[in-house]
Amino acid sequence: MSRPANALAFVSTLCALALCALAPAAAGAAQIARISAAFTPERLGAATTVSFGFRIAAPGGTPAPLRGIELAYPPNLGFATSGLGVAACPLEVLEALGPAACPPDSRMGYGSAHVEIPISAHPVEESVTLALVAGPSTDGYLHLLVYASGSTPVIAEVVLSGVLLPGRIDIVVPPIPSLPEAPYVAVTQMRLTLGGDLTYYETVGGASVAYRPPGVGLPRGCPRRGFRFAATFAFIDGTRSKASTSVACPHRR
Amino acid sequence: MRPARAIGFAAAAALTLAASCLLLAPGAGAHDARRPVSAHAASVLNVRDEGHLRFVHASGSAILDEGAVSGTVPGSVRVRFVYDGAPDVSAQFTITAHGGSISARGTGVLSSPTSASPSFRGRLSVTGGSGRYAHIHGGGELYGVYNRRSYGLTVQAIAKLSY
């Protein structure tokens, strides 16, 4: 074999190796999502808090930034009849002043998240706290606003918007800038709880009286295979990932 | 109730006439002719009822309320109200009145869902009845307020019903 031929073979081998090496990376572009859901307490026919969580991973790297989440929930769960969010927090107020400036009766839940900023071979991680409030409705549907705030290493506040549809919650995640010239922030974990330790106020006889909103109503019957949740995650690179889980039927008490 | 009686008399006359026509019609078969013909005088109810209902229990997105209803057909009412997040709400209810009951189904559109007491308005149609309302039919308008704190309902029905 002549030298040019040898060189050509060498280059071809390198290209093949490079392609092989790229294959997992290309596969890694598709994000892998896992979700979890829980009721606390687990009692059929009673009000409960509903927790929903997810993890997103991309083999060999940071997942692509999230663009949106469609969470399908059992349609007979009483999200709309939960009594959560009996006041609305204007988006401008939330963006400018944070959830503390929202009416107490607009609070619907809380949560946490982990994000990654892929600025080097070792992406920077950040913990984020979440506050859920009811947003104004112009279309008759219940709207949710998720206020996300992180402080270290990047100080950032972002508002995610969502809408409660029958059997589904759609959440739009805006592109979250990180550092100048750096890619958008990637959400790798999130946990949201609807309900919980909330205090609302009502006027009784001219006086403001505190009360706890009951929470999401569970139906009196349980589907045979439990309460099924499914989520579709849309990413900024155009890919989608799906995941599902079930909450086993609680014991009757 | 004079206008209602007058309408009832006219309706009874019309029914009798219609039955006679059917029996005398050349196309009427022997089988049809042997069938016993029953007719009753129809009465018309212009219903305007209102109820303030209290929460009994819930099952997910369905709420069961009951309470007293006052107006044209006074009695008690039991309502199954379904609100699943869409602005379209539905209600199935039964009014138990003196001499019988009326069952109906209503659908409406909820406004201001993030307020403490969103209101809704829509249509109702009667699905059945019992006793003196066994043959009731018709429909009308449904108005209501849903209290998201107490799960109580205030409903008003305005309907024109025949029975």
A142 contacts on B by Cβ (under 8 Å)? 85, 113-114
pLDDT (0 to 100) of residue B108 = 96
pLDDT (0 to 100) of residue B41 = 62
Cis (ω within 30 of 0) for the bond into A41? yes
Closest CA–CA distance from residue B116 to any residue of chain A (Å): 5
pLDDT tops 80 at residue A120: no
Give yes or no: residues B13 and B66 share one domain: no
Pairing of strands A66-72, A200-204: unpaired
Q: What are the pLDDT digits (tens) for B100-121?
A: 999 999 999 999 898 999 999 9
Give yes or no: residues B85 and B30 share one domain: no
Using CB atoms, pick whichever of A137, A140, A165 lies closest to residue B109: A140
- The confidence band for A44, taking pLDDT boundaries of 50, 70 and 90, is very high
Using CB atoms, pick whichever of B60, B83, B114 lies closest to residue A88: B114
Domain that holds residue B150: 44-162
In a domain, B89, yes or no: yes
CB contact under 8 Å between B114 and A45, yes or no, is no
Arithmetic mean of pLDDT over chain A: 86
Give yes or no: residues B73 and B23 share one domain: no
Give yes or no: residues B8 and B50 share one domain: no
Give yes or no: residues B28 and B53 share one domain: no
In a domain, A139, yes or no: yes
CB contact under 8 Å between A166 and B149, yes or no, is no
- Give the HSE-up count for residue A52: Cα atoms under 13 Å, Cβ half-sphere: 22
B85 contacts on A by Cβ (under 8 Å)? 79-80, 141-142, 164-167
In a domain, A18, yes or no: no
B57 contacts on A by Cβ (under 8 Å)? 45
Give yes or no: residues B153 and B89 share one domain: yes
Give yes or no: residues B20 and B76 share one domain: no
Give yes or no: residues B74 and B137 share one domain: yes
Give yes or no: residues B7 and B78 share one domain: no
Q: Please give the interface size between A and B, counted as residue pairs whose CB atoms are below 8 Å apart.
A: 94
Q: Cα separation of A12 and A106, whole Å?
A: 63
pLDDT tops 60 at residue A137: yes
pLDDT (0 to 100) of residue A177 = 84
CB contact under 8 Å between A80 and B83, yes or no, is yes
A218 at the B interface (CB within 8 A)? yes
Domain that holds residue A222: 30-241
CATH number at residue B138: 2.40.350
Inter-residue contact B153 to B145 (CB < 8 Å): yes
Instruction: Give me the mean pLDDT over the A32-50 stretch.
Output: 94
pLDDT (0 to 100) of residue B39 = 53
Ranking A18-32, A217-231, A236-250, B51-65 by mean pLDDT, the lowest is A18-32
The total number of structural domains that make up chain B:
2
CB contact under 8 Å between B87 and A80, yes or no, is no
pLDDT tops 60 at residue B29: no
Beta bridge partners of B94: B78, B103
In a domain, A5, yes or no: no
- The confidence band for A163, taking pLDDT boundaries of 50, 70 and 90, is very high
DSSP run (H or E) holding A40: strand A32-40
Give yes or no: residues B13 and B72 share one domain: no
Q: Cα separation of A127 and A150, whole Å?
A: 6
B38 at the A interface (CB within 8 A)? no
Highest mean pLDDT pick, A21-35, A109-123, A176-190, A233-247: A233-247
pLDDT (0 to 100) of residue B23 = 34
- The confidence band for A12, taking pLDDT boundaries of 50, 70 and 90, is very low
Q: Which residue has the tokens 């889980």?
A: A245
Using CB atoms, pick whichever of B58, B87, B116 lies closest to residue A140: B87
In a domain, B76, yes or no: yes
pTM: 0.79
Give yes or no: residues B88 and B122 share one domain: yes
In a domain, A17, yes or no: no
Q: What are the pLDDT digits (tens) for B42-69?
A: 788 899 999 999 999 999 999 999 999 9
In degrees, rounded to 5, the angle at the alpha carbon of residue A230 between the alpha carbons of residues A228 and A232 is 175
In a domain, B39, yes or no: no
The total number of structural domains that make up chain A:
1
pLDDT tops 80 at residue A89: yes
Instruction: Give me the mean pLDDT over the A64-82 stretch.
Output: 94
In a domain, A125, yes or no: yes
In degrees, rounded to 5, the angle at the alpha carbon of residue A191 between the alpha carbons of residues A187 and A123 is 25
